[in-house]
Chain A
Amino acid sequence: MNAFPPNDTDSSIDIGEADAETAAAIDIDREKGNFSFKEDYAYDAGVGLNAGAVDYITDVKGEPDWVREFRHKALKIFESKPLPTHWGSKDLENIDFAKIRYYLAKGQKPSRTWDEVPDDVKETFERLGIPEQERKFLAGVEAQFDSESAYSRMKEELSKQGVIFVGPTEGLKEHAEVFRKYFGKVIPAADNKFAALNSAVFSGGSFIYVPKGVKVAQPLQAYFRINAENFGQFERTLIIADEGAEVTYMEGCTAPKFDTATLHSAVVELVALKGAKIQYITVQNWATNVFNLVTKRGVAEEGAEIRWIDCNIGSRLTMKYPAVVLKGEHARGEVISIALASENQTQDTGAKMIHAASHTTSNIVSKSISVGNGLASYRGQVHIPKSLSHCKNNTECDALLINTNSRTDTYPAITVRGSQNSTQHEASVSKVSAEQIFYMMQRGLSEGEAMSLAVNGFINDLVQEFPMEYSVELKRLVELEMEGSVG
């Protein structure tokens, strides 16, 4: 039996060897990320959200009673809060909370060695193109498959330094003392409807504690995956940098494509104690059926620094406004944000800087690109209350519109009181100039190439802020998005 005819009889793939080689060399694997595996989940909380589902999650995870209480309280808050009214998009109303599965996991405990990782999970990583060698370079890889940590491992020297890098379930059981002190304190369950949802059903994410004075040299990374239809992923990340500590955390997301909407609603809390530095880097590239509704906030104590470096390329609707509460004098907060809204996408992003001590400074730089009918919005808040002095904020928002039907909105809100405080906000909207494109085309570039070069130039200064491998990836993603965007 021969299911496949021999190559030489198939004229449709009859191309010269050199051509095929060239094609392979210049082509990109477009199917990457466009796949799914047969679902085989050991644990499943069923469809819909109720007290039973919450109990189920707590039971499966074997969590202590205080967590069960926390989850139930959050569920009640979630049920009582209305959906946001004048936020980014009416699309929110299309989320059917009763049709979402709130928990499923492979049932495995976080594993420390590569051998313990199940084969189909390894295959997912393989398809994602994460080479095994790369992981060895990474200080610690927390690879998350659906809602439970599939693999986590730390280099020996990090453990020796006392750095904790685990999932939240392990964190709340093994490191209860430090976990409980900060968990849900930066972002209480009642903060907003989606923070409440996350607090009720969270699973997966990371818990990191960096002890006093420890400077983690290499970034800690986590890879996230969604791989089940109609499945919401509710990571919960808590990072604590003790006095004088320094840490960089990186998360990147890709997701297989599905027909029905997927909900992703993470909560990320950062605590930078006196003189500590936390840098949190995100590259978000969910499939275009994902609702990405995320609450991210950090508290910076005296002399501490928190930087959110955020890039949003994927998803159907993203609503994300990383915040820094500048709680101690001389604290510093920064948000660097890139958003790319392609056809049928809404990127509703922004930043919040809440000054709560004198002599604090904050900086926001946001650049967005709208392609096709894509909508990129900047929503920001800068708050300097009475009784503070010598606070400074600088905000810059630039938007680039590619097509005639592209759209961009900017909605900052700035409140200033007190003495010797100053804020400045600037925003501009522009398009790629016809002259630039003409100049490049005259030198032999196609219109598409010229456009991606111009767009890459527009965001270049922010892309530099990302680590090397991310910035290379970003440039390629922009090129991909710009293909066919002109004409």
Chain B
Amino acid sequence: MPTEILSPDTFAAQQNASPLAALKKAGWEQFQQLPVPQRTNERWRFSNLNHVKLEGFSLPPAPAKEIQQELLQRSALIEKVSGKIVFADGHLLGEVSLAPELHAQGVILETLSAAAEKHPALLEQYLLKSGTDLGGEKFLALHQAYLKTGYFLHVPKGVEISAPIAVYNWLAADGAAVFPHALVVAEENARVNVVDFYLSRDESAKGFAAAAADIHAAPGAGVFRKVVQNWNEQTQSYQIDNTHAENNSTVTTVSVNLGAKRARFENAIRLNGSGSNVRLYGLTVADQDQEFDQRTLQIHNAPDSYSDLLYKNALLDRARTIFSGLIRVAPGAQKTDAYQTNRNLLLSPDAEANSLPGLEIEANDVKCSHGATTGQLDTSELFYMQARGIPKETAYELLVFGFFEEIIEKVDNEELAGVLRTFVQEKFKRRSAKNLLG
């Protein structure tokens, strides 16, 4: 059986059994038609397209029993959860678990394939409805064609999920391609809290991930989503998120990007209802030859809405980051209050930070601003700490981790914050602070 993802046979073989067949077929056809991103495409400005490679990845079989066992055991980064799903190489491991009281209140947590059988109307309403305006059309189409291992989380009116639902997506086999999907729907006045982990089993297996998320916050709803991307550095990662915020809804997302050789993250927020309130936080720690390519879009379609974005990048070695953000205020979206901030901390002379903060404003009664700064650690702050007897290396670490802490504390969950601190520290352990100081 062919498994190469670019082969029509591979597509056809996994297609037969799926209830999402029509949607997947449309995705496959689009994927065939869409061109590979070109250097002249503004949406790919500054991206290193040499690293974009679709060849050589396949749909792997389910991992061996002992590997499944191992991964299930490792899928316990946070203990206090109200539900859990574990995927590996595009296969569900074990069972979907959900707190009984939430199940009783009508909360749905299913794999996409299961949801397609049980809740076709809801999927029809919410799944992959918005496309992307940020350049990743071809990757989103491929994601759609191989849609299978995502999850569907539906929270009925007024129901609150306080402890997070944890979703683990593992890459295990060498050359594996995965297509994780997060479909989160919070009905009126519901509260939802969810964490997505993207992880690799080891440091050496090559991997390809084209993930996507559809987040819907109905009037008055609150969605709090955290994404921890820590694939190994042999992975190509594409992540295309779409969020819809209706009247008086609140959406907060925290994205922590640490892994992958090349990671592209497209995050579009549509504020469709007045009184909606969206906060986007991002933390990226880039080292070696990593490239993080972040494209964001804050679309204000309704009056009296608020959005605030803060993306912080720290760069080591020869790493590159691209932040391209756009605030778009539609005609008539008066009293919009929108902000966008990008802070780049260069910790190596060979690193490169690119910043493209943009505004497109078509309403006049608005408050919109953006700021972008790129620089090194403040030498006077280092000096101040040294003057008080703190060794230079310690002072350096304190300042760098202080830079990260502003985002880490936004996850508002001590367990998760601890996990993030550990991940970041592991990345830094590869070098001593002494080397960094040069």
Contact = CB atoms under 8 A, between A and B. Distances in A.
B368 A416 contact: no
A414 B349 contact: no
Contact of B350 (A389, A417, A421): A417
B297 interface: no
A399 B356 CA distance: 17
- Sort chain A's interface into a size bin: 35 or more
Contact of B361 (A408, A414, A415): A408
Nearest to A433: B365
A425 B355 contact: yes
Interface residues of B, number: 37
Contact of A414 (B366, B369, B372): B372
Given A416-B346, A428-B369, A407 B353 contact: no
B352 A409 contact: no
A416 B374 contact: yes
B59 interface: no
Given A411-B358, A428-B369, A419 B349 contact: yes
Q: Is the interface of A mostly helix, strand, loop or mixed?
A: strand
Contacts of A407: 360-362
Nearest to A377: B360
B358 A410 contact: yes
A415 B369 contact: no
Interface in A393-442: 399, 401-431
B369 A386 contact: no
Contacts of A429: 359, 361, 366-369
Contact of A420 (B353, B360, B363, B376): B376
B374 A401 contact: no
Contact of A416 (B42, B344, B363): B344
Contact of A422 (B350, B365, B375): B375
A85 interface: yes
Given A85-B40, A408-B361, A431-B366, A414 B374 contact: yes
Interface string A57-88: 00000000000000000000000000001100
Interface in B302-352: 331-332, 334, 344, 346, 349-352
A417 B46 CA distance: 13
Given A86-B42, A389-B349, A409 B369 contact: no
Contacts of B351: 417
Nearest to B45: A413
B279 interface: no
B373 interface: yes
Contacts of A409: 358-361
B371 interface: yes
B413 interface: no
Nearest to A423: B374
Contacts of A425: 355, 357, 370-373
A410 B359 contact: yes
A430 B363 CA distance: 10
Contact of B354 (A403, A415, A431): A415
A414 B355 contact: yes
B105 interface: no
A428 B368 contact: yes
Nearest to B338: A429
Contacts of B367: 428-430
B364 interface: yes
Nearest to A419: B349
A429 B329 CA distance: 11
Contact of B353 (A404, A405, A415): A415
Interface in A5-42: none
A431 B375 contact: no
A402 B372 contact: no
B367 to A, nearest CB: 6
Contact of B374 (A387, A408, A422, A428): A422
A406 B366 CA distance: 12
A429 B364 CA distance: 8
B361 A412 contact: no
Contacts of B365: 404, 431
B435 to A, nearest CB: 14
Contacts of A423: 355, 372-375
Contacts of B349: 386-387, 389, 417-419
B298 to A, nearest CB: 13
A381 B223 CA distance: 37
A421 to B, nearest CB: 7
Contacts of A387: 349
B369 A426 contact: yes
Contacts of A415: 46, 352-355
23 contacts: A386-B349, A386-B350, A389-B349, A401-B364, A401-B366, A404-B331, A404-B332, A404-B334, A404-B365, A407-B360, A410-B370, A412-B357, A413-B45, A415-B353, A415-B355, A416-B344, A416-B354, A417-B346, A425-B355, A426-B369, A427-B371, A430-B367, A431-B366
Given A414-B372, A416-B355, 16 more contacts: A399-B359, A404-B365, A407-B360, A408-B361, A410-B359, A413-B354, A414-B355, A416-B374, A417-B346, A417-B350, A423-B355, A423-B372, A424-B371, A424-B373, A424-B375, A431-B366
Interface of A: 85-86, 386-387, 389, 399, 401-431
